[in-house]
A and B are shown apart, each in its own frame.
Chain A
Amino acid sequence: MSGLRSFVARRLLLGALQTVAVVLLVFALTEALPGDAAVALAGDQPDPARIAAIREAMDLDRPAYERLAGWATGLLHGDLGTSLTSGRPVAHYIADGFGPTLLLATLTLALLVPIGFGLGVLAARHEGRLVDRLVSSVTLAVYAVPEFALGVLLVTVLAIKLAWLPPTALGYGTDLLAHPAALVLPVLVLLSRPVCSLSRLVRAGMVDALASPYAAHARRYGVPGARVRYTHALPNALAPAVQQLARTVDWLLCGVIVVEALFVIPGLGTVLLNAVAERDVPVVQGLAVVFGVLTVVLNLGADLVAHRLTPRAGVAA
């Protein structure tokens, strides 16, 4: 177990370094973008005197390293800083955007796991037969459709033509749970591609495992088919699927901009998009920290689960 502990410690340290690197990179890139918050705010009225005044009011006239250092000092005290454009705390931005994002991610995940694994196992069980072909071709076809296209299609058919569901979550704010109907379409769109990739991964893993010598051996010993499938073959198929799942959760939490924009869900993706357009560097940096930490933690979790499922494979640190 001590090997595992040192692995976790190493990974956490590496993760912290990675997050710092991401923040530095994001800062450098945001600085490298043409224009700054003052220029973005001045918009179509780029009166140089006004831009200078805004710049001064925002403290943008200080050198970049000073601003970064000031922000980093605050971060050590748990302070993510304040937005340049509104003067409100960055933590509020993230907290406000996190609710809808988390809700969507949770719902999507809650449906993704049973559907993805179910379809994968189903296809693997019927390998080469009609069910398998059907599942495989439908998942491949759906996977090929970009989210926004699927979203537009679903809205047009289910919300506008048939009027079964509300087309957007406009006006519901953060209280999305009170309007479950508005969540159906976004979750469907979010599910579409991950379900396909996950079920295909599970199917492939199961098929491999079922064709392996140890599965054949187990069958020769008279172990029932279900037990071979679920206690011997499935865990082997799970390891890659868990990693894929971690990537999906990461994607869901770190802002699904297309879906948020299409359905007017004010999540983290929207916050990020606005912050970049406004050159609101503290908000962008705050999000970079949150996304960095999330990514590190999720991947670490996935590695640990994969390790638990297939101990023999060892852990690649």
Chain B
Amino acid sequence: MHDERFPGLRRRGFLAATTGAAALALVGCGGGTDDKAAGGSGTPKRGGRLRAAFAGGGASETLDPHLANLFADVARAKALFDKLADYGADLSAEPRLAEKWEADKGLDRWQVTLRQATFHDGKPVTAKDVLYSYRRIADPKQAFRAKASLEPIDLDASRATGERSIEFVLKRPTAEFPNILAAFGAYIVPENATEFDKKPIGSGPFRFVSFTPGRSAVFRRYDDHWDGAPLLDEIEFVVANEESARVNALLGGQVEYAHELNPTTARAHEGKGQIEIVRLRNSAMQAFCMKTDRAPFDDKRVREAFFLIADRQELVDGALSGAGEVGNDLFGKGYEYYAADLPQREQDLDRARALLKQAGAEKLKVTLDTSAVAAGFTEAAGIFRDQAAKAGVTIDVKMGSKDSYWSDILDGGTLSCYRSGAMPIEAHISQRLLTDSTTNATKWQHKDFDALYQQAQATRDKTERAAVYERMQRRLYSEGGFLIWGFADWIIGTAKTVKGVETKAPANTLDWARFDKVWLA
């Protein structure tokens, strides 16, 4: 296989959902204006076909929205299907198919009312379709990705209370229940639908025309979409795993939208007038993951020393080619509930050395696991090794297999490269930082921390809830296991004719890879 010679030739796979790139654009730019990239100027025009190039999954691709795993899968799924809710730019849930939701006093029973919407075959979207979809996802015999997100719902006790109203019964109080409705892959399909590759029926803005796995999917405008018909006549998703191929196809006019470009490509073409570069800023969280249950990171002084070793700007400049901004050891910069008031951590090698000395960890030797699984991982590892050397810490960088990396580092090793895409801060905590979390890579297991999470979920008042989240974040900031050094831009290229591409849309949020509001000038 020649892929060593051709470093771009790596599978960009499985990062969509949780680890995909987020991109909270324009966070620092203040102002809540509705800036659109690619010049939102002019009156939206109807018609035309837009071709969008994504990295994909080859001949194994499917249109089953519950199996969505890659960015390409999600982009196709959101064109054909809707969720009850979806994430806004700050990762708070916005109503979609659900018109409204209301909790009872105990926050463990929620009434959800559906809006009037129809599937592509004209049938209305009903409570039964919703319950069928959720039960399909939660089927214990299956391994759908959203199953873990739907876990708080007691689907046996939940029921339809009307044609368009559902009572969800939860296993425990869940103040952030709307996040579940917006969960990755929680799409609504018609009752009893099992086959999605021949002629899938959804309620999304586009209807199915054709699909060839690993090559192309063509969808046509659905005129009766509840959110208004799309402006485009047709959208075609094409698959090109090689970044240079996506760029070349865009430059050569073979596609109008290229997803996931390299920072160097962006720099080469930004402002040159040939194509538009859209940077979804503050996106994929970039981190080093310290296992807090084993030496040397079971000592919080060592963790703090590592926080102080990192020169975050150098990491952003080197590993992300400058396409990003520095992190403050907290997930979700710019998202709802983010503790933005904590001071920005800077490199302080003297203090780091002193802390290591106190902890009896002078001349420390650590192995840092990395892999070519994500852009910038190996570069970040090399840069951090050099930074650590200045504090007297010897880091041995170990390259791992990119296909099994995430599984390898979940329980193995002590220090590893890590990244994550957009998700609500609450979801980051519940999936990664509770004693029973399924992907707790930092082994952050503290009963009192779990209790704070339960407290937040049982708190109805939003301000009070925010205060609890802040307490949790302060703790993570001072002694957590994630050294979060940056947030990468997510880079998209479009032809000059493409208008209405949202810039404030982290990957996995509603407006990212959303084509029903895009138009061709």
The distance from the CB of B139 to the nearest CB of chain A, in whole angstroms, is: 10
Query: Does A160 lie within 8 Å of B238, measured CB to CB?
Result: no
B242 at the interface (CB under 8 A from A): yes
| Given contact pairs A170-B53, A257-B1, A261-B6, A40 touches B403 in the complex (Cβ within 8 A) | yes
A180 at the interface (CB under 8 A from B): no
Query: Does A170 lie within 8 Å of B254, measured CB to CB?
Result: yes
B15 at the interface (CB under 8 A from A): yes
Nearest-CB residue, chain B, relative to A156: B248
Interface stretch of the complex, out of A50-58, A120-128, A223-231 = A50-58
The distance from the CB of A138 to the nearest CB of chain B, in whole angstroms, is: 24
B361 at the interface (CB under 8 A from A): no
Query: Does A47 lie within 8 Å of B59, measured CB to CB?
Result: no
Give CA–CA (A261, B11) in the complex, Å. 11
Q: B404 is contacted by which of A39, A155, A167 (Cβ under 8 Å)? A: A39
Give CA–CA (A171, B255) in the complex, Å. 8
B17 at the interface (CB under 8 A from A): yes
Give CA–CA (A170, B249) in the complex, Å. 7
A-facing residues in B283-340 (Cβ within 8 Å): none
A-facing residues in B121-145 (Cβ within 8 Å): 140-143, 145
Query: Does B60 lie within 8 Å of A278, measured CB to CB?
Result: yes
Q: B17 is contacted by which of A45, A46, A263 (Cβ under 8 Å)? A: A45
The distance from the CB of B387 to the nearest CB of chain A, in whole angstroms, is: 26
Query: Does A167 lie within 8 Å of B3, measured CB to CB?
Result: no
Interface stretch of the complex, out of A73-81, A107-115, A264-272, A295-303 = A264-272
The distance from the CB of B22 to the nearest CB of chain A, in whole angstroms, is: 13
B-facing residues in A153-172 (Cβ within 8 Å): 155, 159-160, 163, 166-168, 170-171
Query: Does B9 lie within 8 Å of A277, measured CB to CB?
Result: no
Query: Does B216 lie within 8 Å of A34, measured CB to CB?
Result: no
Query: Does B403 lie within 8 Å of A34, measured CB to CB?
Result: yes
How many chain A residues touch B (CB < 8 A): the figure is 58
B401 at the interface (CB under 8 A from A): yes
B439 at the interface (CB under 8 A from A): yes
Flag A21-61 by CB within 8 Å of B: 1 or 0 each: 00000000000011100011111111111110110010000
B202 at the interface (CB under 8 A from A): no
Query: Does A160 lie within 8 Å of B438, measured CB to CB?
Result: no
Query: Does A271 lie within 8 Å of B58, measured CB to CB?
Result: yes
A212 at the interface (CB under 8 A from B): no
Interface of B is mostly: loop
Q: A45 is contacted by which of B239, B404, B406 (Cβ under 8 Å)? A: B406
B458 at the interface (CB under 8 A from A): no
The distance from the CB of B277 to the nearest CB of chain A, in whole angstroms, is: 16
Interface of A is mostly: helix
User: Which chain A residues border B143 with CB–CB below 8 Å?
Assistant: 50, 53-54, 57
| Given contact pairs A54-B143, A96-B59, A160-B251, A43 touches B439 in the complex (Cβ within 8 A) | no
A2 at the interface (CB under 8 A from B): no
Query: Does A173 lie within 8 Å of B213, measured CB to CB?
Result: no
Query: Does A44 lie within 8 Å of B59, measured CB to CB?
Result: no
The distance from the CB of B374 to the nearest CB of chain A, in whole angstroms, is: 9
Nearest-CB residue, chain A, relative to B274: A160
User: Which chain B residues border A152 with CB–CB below 8 Å?
Assistant: 244
Query: Does A171 lie within 8 Å of B252, measured CB to CB?
Result: no
A279 at the interface (CB under 8 A from B): yes
Of the four ranges (under 10, 10 to 19, 20 to 34, 35 or more), the interface on chain B belongs to 35 or more
The distance from the CB of B171 to the nearest CB of chain A, in whole angstroms, is: 17
Give CA–CA (A35, B215) in the complex, Å. 27
The distance from the CB of B278 to the nearest CB of chain A, in whole angstroms, is: 20
Residue among A44, A171, A276, A280 with most chain B CB within 10 A:
A44
| Given contact pairs A39-B407, A171-B51, A262-B242, A274 touches B254 in the complex (Cβ within 8 A) | no
User: Which chain B residues border A264 with CB–CB below 8 Å?
Assistant: 238-240, 242, 245, 249
Residue among A50, A93, A274 with most chain B CB within 10 A:
A274
User: Which chain A residues border B400 with CB–CB below 8 Å?
Assistant: 34
A248 at the interface (CB under 8 A from B): no
Flag A68-95 by CB within 8 Å of B: 1 or 0 each: 0000000000000001011010001100
| Given contact pairs A86-B59, A152-B244, A45 touches B401 in the complex (Cβ within 8 A) | no
User: Which chain B residues border A86 with CB–CB below 8 Å?
Assistant: 59-62, 213
User: Which chain A residues border B5 with CB–CB below 8 Å?
Assistant: 146, 148, 258
Q: A273 is contacted by which of B3, B53, B61, B145 (Cβ under 8 Å)? A: B3
Give CA–CA (A17, B120) in the complex, Å. 54
User: Which chain B residues border A41 with CB–CB below 8 Å?
Assistant: 14, 69
Give CA–CA (A266, B142) in the complex, Å. 30
Query: Does B15 lie within 8 Å of A266, measured CB to CB?
Result: no
User: Which chain A residues border B140 with CB–CB below 8 Å?
Assistant: 53
Give CA–CA (A198, B112) in the complex, Å. 71
User: Which chain A residues border B11 with CB–CB below 8 Å?
Assistant: 274, 277
A97 at the interface (CB under 8 A from B): yes
B-facing residues in A220-262 (Cβ within 8 Å): 257-258, 261-262
A-facing residues in B1-36 (Cβ within 8 Å): 1-3, 5-6, 9, 11, 13-15, 17-19
Query: Does B60 lie within 8 Å of A280, measured CB to CB?
Result: yes
Q: A167 is contacted by which of B141, B249, B403 (Cβ under 8 Å)? A: B249
Nearest-CB residue, chain A, relative to B411: A48
The distance from the CB of A305 to the nearest CB of chain B, in whole angstroms, is: 29
Give CA–CA (A174, B215) in the complex, Å. 9
| Given contact pairs A39-B403, A274-B58, A274-B60, A171 touches B1 in the complex (Cβ within 8 A) | no
**Pairs A–B under 8 Å by Cβ, sample size 15:** A33-B401, A35-B404, A40-B403, A44-B19, A45-B406, A57-B143, A170-B238, A173-B215, A257-B2, A258-B6, A261-B242, A264-B245, A271-B58, A274-B60, A278-B58
Q: Kindly list the 10 A-B residue pairs having the minimum CB-CB distance in the complex, ordered from nearest.
A: A43-B14, A35-B404, A274-B58, A47-B438, A44-B19, A167-B248, A46-B407, A167-B252, A53-B143, A86-B60
Known interface pairs A152-B244, A173-B216, A262-B244; 7 further A-B residue pairs with C-beta atoms within 8 A, sorted by A's residue number: A39-B407, A40-B404, A44-B15, A86-B61, A258-B6, A273-B58, A280-B60
